[in-house]
Structures are given as structure tokens and as C-alpha cells.
Amino acid sequence: MRLPLPILFKSALGALFLLLATMVMAQDVTFPRDELSIRTAGGKTYQFSVELAVTDAQRSQGLMFRKTMPPDHGMLFDFGEARPVAMWMENTILPLDMLFIQSDGTISHIRENAVPYARDVIDSRGPVKFVLELNAGRTKSLGIKVGDKVISRRVGNR
């Protein structure tokens, strides 16, 4: 079945409008920065500069549409209280490692190499207060594992 040209044009125009509106909204969200470190069970400490996603708008935006991120950078999502969290990668270009973090800074679950643009739900597997997103492969290359500690002013253990 073929759609008449005016309907196709209106559909394409509507899709373009939604895409542009999403991109404009994405540019309006700004993120404060902070420093954090991860201390491994083996005694190594790694420093990261992170953007903070603490408001609903910041958490909704996250790292969507970003094309690059330096290896020692990331984004820390603060949910304000410990609760089950579900994330996904829609509109996220970068493959990411997601570290699910309890209130005391303990890493309780890691999802390595989350696939860009995927709509699959990435579950925290229990209550967490924070999620740290890093470039995919960083947790493995640094030897970061479940049980390691995230230390920062935001987490409240520095």
C-alpha cells in the first residue's frame, strides 16, 4: 500500500521536528562536575572527573547523543535514595560500563559494554543510590569489580 505524498511528507516532517526538539532539549541540560575515585579490593585507586546527574532532567538526558568521552571521565547518577533502578541505552551513542552503587559507595553490580541505542532494560539487581557510567571496557581494563568502593563527596564517604 502506498501512502499519498502529502501524508508521507507530513510524517517525515513530524519525525524531523521530534528529532530536532529532542536535540534542542538535550543541549539545554547542563551538568555540574565533581571528582571521585574508585578503590579496588587490591588496593589500587583510580581517579575520575564526573558530570553529576541529580535532577530528573539530568538523569533523563544522561550521556545521550555524546560522541566521545575522555577515558578518565564519566557520569554519576544520584537517585537521592536507595531503590531499584532501571537504565537503558536509547539515543546513547557511546558503549558504556554501568556501575550500580549502594549508599555507602560499594559497587553491587556492573553491566559491562552496554550496547549503544539498545532499548533493553539494564536492571540494578537490587536497591542502589547511584549509577556511574564509564566508557565501555574501563572496568575490565582497570580491574574494577563488584565489592570495590566509589569514594566522593556526593556519595558521602570522603
> Over its length of 158 residues, how does the chain's per-residue pLDDT go in tens digits?
555 555 544 555 455 555 555 554 545 789 999 999 999 999 999 999 999 999 999 999 999 999 999 999 999 999 999 999 999 999 999 999 999 999 999 999 999 999 999 999 999 999 999 999 999 999 999 999 999 999 999 998 87
Cα distances (angstroms) measured from residue 22 to each of 1, 65, 91, 98: 31, 10, 10, 24
22: phi > 0 → left, psi -120 to 50 → alpha, else beta; which? alpha
Number of domains observed in the structure of the chain: 2
In terms of domains, do 21 and 37 share one?
A: no
Is 156 a member of any domain? Answer: no
Alpha-carbon Rg for the chain in angstroms: 18
Which residues, at least 6 apart from 71, have a Cβ–Cβ distance to it below 8 Å? 135, 138
In terms of domains, do 146 and 78 share one?
A: yes
In terms of domains, do 63 and 11 share one?
A: no
Handedness of CA 128, 131, 132, 138 (dihedral sign): positive
In terms of domains, do 24 and 96 share one?
A: no
Task: Tell me which amino acid residue 66 is.
Answer: R
In terms of domains, do 3 and 77 share one?
A: no
In terms of domains, do 142 and 67 share one?
A: yes
Supply the range of the domain harboring residue 17.
1-30
Residue 44 is part of a domain; what is its CATH number? 2.60.120.1140
pTM of this structure: 0.82
